[in-house]
Amino acid sequence: MSSAPEEHLRLQEIGVSFGNVNVIPSLDLSVRKGEMVAFLGPSGCGKTTTLRVIAGLNKPSQGRIIVGGRDITHLPIHDRDMGMVFQSYALFPHMNVSRNVAFGLQMRKVSGRDAEARAAQALEMVQLGHLSHRKPKELSGGQQQRVALARALVIEPSILLLDEPLSNLDAKLRDEMRVQIRALQQQSGITAVFVTHDQVEALSMCDRVVVMRGGNVEQFGTPTEVYERPATAFVANFVGRTNRLKGRITSEGVLTAAGQQLRSATTLAPGAVDVLVRPHRIRLQETADAANEVQGTVSSITFIGDLVQYGVRVDDEEVVVEEATRRDRRPLAVSDKVTLGWSAEDTLVYPAGEK
Amino acid sequence: MSAVSASAPPRQWRDGELAILLLLPIALINAIGFILPVLNLARYSFNRSRIGGGIETVFTWENWAGLLSDRFYLELVFNSVWISLAITLTTLIASYPIALYLHRASGAWRTFLTVLVISPLLTSAVVRTYGWIAILIDDGPVVSAIKAVGLPAPSLMFNIKGVFIGLTEILMPYMILALMAGFGRLDPRVEEAARTLGATPARTFTKVILPLTLPGIALGCLLCFVLAVSSFITPKLMGGGRVFLLATEIYDQAIVTLNWPLASTLSMLVLIVFGAALWAYSVVLRRLD
């Protein structure tokens, strides 16, 4: 066995148009066997469209889809062997839970008793064995979601496609399902594509994240890469929160922002730039070893419980700083003078005006 | 605005009070315009008819006994039901694809097509029936076209074929509207789910689309069956006096023969047929849920 993970899904120059609107210009992507990849982006970024192209539900206007070395671009939907979980779950309302799950097996000509046994097994896997005779409308949202998951997994599909599966659940259930979906995916070793607009879902569940905007891939990397080294200002803004300061790089290559010189790990051509710093990477007062140090005045304080959010006026810009609540230091008050410090690695620099 | 705020706060209706008040007008109209006449018909059906259209107000089972022992009337009932069922089925088959297409269409195109489907309802059935007569008559365009191709000329008018064709077309708008009303449960995502799970388009239709549209089918069939059984003008005109159905016979008995008790008995028989259809419909609906 080679250690290099095998490629399982490849999208080659995929383009999609709806009428005159070119939703996806040209998209290239490669997903490895057994990994779970998130398509992350705001609504209208083309993430769901891309997923539907893989499933065959939307036709690409150009390009090829290759799964396991086989070109499936022109394969009809029912021959693609994809397990899809829809945002609305799309359970068959006229069938009970057990028949819903067995449907895909039936279509694959699995014998009745065999299909029943495998459906029962899949339902046990999502802890719903006891509800197999209920109709979908007699289930809660979370239960319907698990039935949809069992229905997609029982056919042992080539790829599991999840279209915003958690967005209709309440917060607590969403946390539980996140863990459960990831566990099921890892147990079965199935290749999965997970569409979401929620960065927490993307970062916490997936091996790699595709950040999309306007039908283009902004960045494709591990959650850490996407978060720590955002390829563009858009990625930095969309994944996690940031402060944005107006700055310049002089012809000597010196970065200035907030009225003073700053140090960054990235180098850029001279000109106007945006400097991005994440709120929780800024330290208050204890700035002895910080590469960057600026003075400011506290202008607002928001207590969130585990966090305190300070608005700090620096030069003529407002910087948000987040700090874990603590007891060892006197809490800051509005109009206190403070020193902010952060490292060169946390100083992200992008050409100005990039959104 | 000020006038509204100055007036006394609206009286709070108790549950049911408002419902009764709102239902009262339609209940009254129904009582006067439907239930009383039907009771009257029921009464006539137990009266005796006199030559010349008179009614002898005695209580007698004669009409019912005569009807149920006369082969002509039994065949009339049987034929009416059978032909109406066949027309309903033809209407369903002709309407279903149109309704499904309309259900899936969107925007201005859908509005346009819906108006197109409903527009025949804006023309009276009499006019449309005469239109069909002009089209289907022996030297009309359809027969001429069939002759021109070299096929033997069929006789499409003034027989059961004409009634069949005309009624099917006249009932289609009702069927399409009823089907569309019943297509609510048909979610395109559910069809897509079936497709991704390996169902071919044909199996998606039989396993998912058809079962989910059964409520619409049941409603449309009930409606069209009732309309077909009670249709009078089209069979009268297009049947050319050779097609005997319940509705035409009632007309003949009431208007031509002036035997109102017999016409009333036949009408009650139609009502019984409708009751049976309604019962069948409710059984189907209960099974579906």
pLDDT tens digits, chain B, 289 residues: what are they? 444 455 566 667 777 888 899 999 999 999 999 999 999 999 999 998 887 778 888 888 988 998 889 999 989 999 999 999 999 999 999 999 999 999 999 889 999 999 999 999 898 888 988 999 999 988 889 888 888 888 888 888 888 888 999 999 999 999 999 999 988 888 999 999 999 999 999 999 999 999 999 999 999 999 999 999 999 888 988 888 888 889 999 999 989 888 999 999 999 999 999 999 999 999 998 887 6
Nearest-CB residue to B193 (from A56, A81, A86)? A86
Region A241-351: CATH code = 2.40.50.140
Give the closest of A88, A93, A107 to B197, CB-based: A107
- Amino acid B18: pLDDT: 87
Q: Could B193 and A90 be called an inter-chain contact, meaning their C-beta atoms sit closer than 8 Å?
A: yes
**Tens-digit pLDDT profile for residues A303-341:** 888 888 999 999 888 999 998 887 777 778 888 899 999
Banded pLDDT at A8 (limits 50, 70, 90)? very high
Cβ atoms of residues A318 and A311 within 8 Å: yes
Res A316: pLDDT: 84
Task: Write the CA distances from B192 to A23, A56, A85, B186, B200, integer angstroms.
Answer: 21, 10, 11, 11, 11
The ipTM, to two decimals, is 0.85
**CB-nearest partner of B189 from A56, A81, A86:** A86
Contact (Cβ atoms closer than 8 angstroms) between residue B261 and residue B63: yes
In angstroms, the CA A306 to CA A325 distance is 6
Check CB contact under 8 Å for A107 and B189.
no
Measure B277 CA to nearest chain A CA, in Å. 24
Q: Measure B237 CA to nearest chain A CA, in Å.
A: 44
- Residue A67 pLDDT exceeds 90: yes
Q: What is the pLDDT of residue B2?
A: 45
| A85 Cα to chain B: minimum distance (Å) | 8
The mean predicted confidence, pLDDT, of chain A is: 91
Per-domain residue ranges for chain B? 65-288
Find which of A18, A82, A86, A94 to mutate to test the B interface (most B CBs within 10 Å of its CB): A94
Torsion of CA A273, A274, A275, A278, to 10 degrees: -160
Q: State the best of A59, A84, A138, A149 to mutate against chain B, taking most chain B CBs within 10 Å.
A: A84
pLDDT of residue B1: 42
Tokens of B164: 């069949």
What tens digit of pLDDT does each residue of A240-292 get?
A: 889 999 888 988 888 888 888 888 888 788 889 999 999 999 988 776 677 88
| Minimum-distance CB partner of A94 among B189, B197, B212 | B212
Q: Which residues are paired to A194 by β-bridges?
A: A38, A162
Question: Is beta strand A317-324 parallel, antiparallel or unpaired with respect to A307-314?
Answer: antiparallel
A56–B198 C-beta distance less than 8 A: no
Which residues on chain A are in Cβ contact (under 8 Å) with B205? none
- Domain A7-235: homologous superfamily in CATH: P-loop containing nucleotide triphosphate hydrolases (3.40.50.300)
User: CB distance B196–A107 less than 8 Å?
Assistant: no
- Sorted by where each begins, the domain ranges of chain A are 7-235, 241-351
Give the pLDDT of residue A232.
92
Contact criterion met (CB < 8 Å) for A107 and B192:
no
In sequence order, the 6+-apart residues with CB closer than 8 A to the CB of B233 are: B125, B126, B129
Could A104 and B211 be called an inter-chain contact, meaning their C-beta atoms sit closer than 8 Å? no
How much is the pLDDT for A192? 96
Instruction: Name chain A contacts of B200, Cβ cutoff 8 Å.
Output: 76, 78
Q: What pLDDT shows up at residue B7?
A: 59
Give the C-alpha separation, B213 to B183, whole Å. 5
How far does A122 lie from chain B, in Å, by closest CA?
Answer: 15
Q: Which residue has the tokens 């139609």?
A: B270
Asked if A343 and A222 touch (Cβ cutoff 8 Å), the reply is no
Q: Which of B187, B192, B197 is nearest residue A103 as measured by Cβ atoms?
A: B197
**Is B288–A94 a contact, with Cβ atoms under 8 angstroms apart?**
yes
Confidence class for position A13, pLDDT limits 50, 70, 90: very high
Taking the CA of residue A221 as centre, how many other CA atoms within 13 Å lie in the half-sphere pointing to its CB?
14
A15-31: per-residue pLDDT in tens? Answer: 999 988 899 999 999 99
**Residue of chain A nearest B203, judged by CA positions:** A107
Contacts of B218 in chain A (CB under 8 A): none
Which fold is adopted by the domain B65-288?
Answer: MetI-like fold (1.10.3720)
- B203 chain-A contacts, CB cut-off 8 A: 107
User: How would you classify the pairing of strands B48-49 and A348-351?
Assistant: unpaired
Contact flag A81-B198 (C-beta cutoff 8 Å): yes
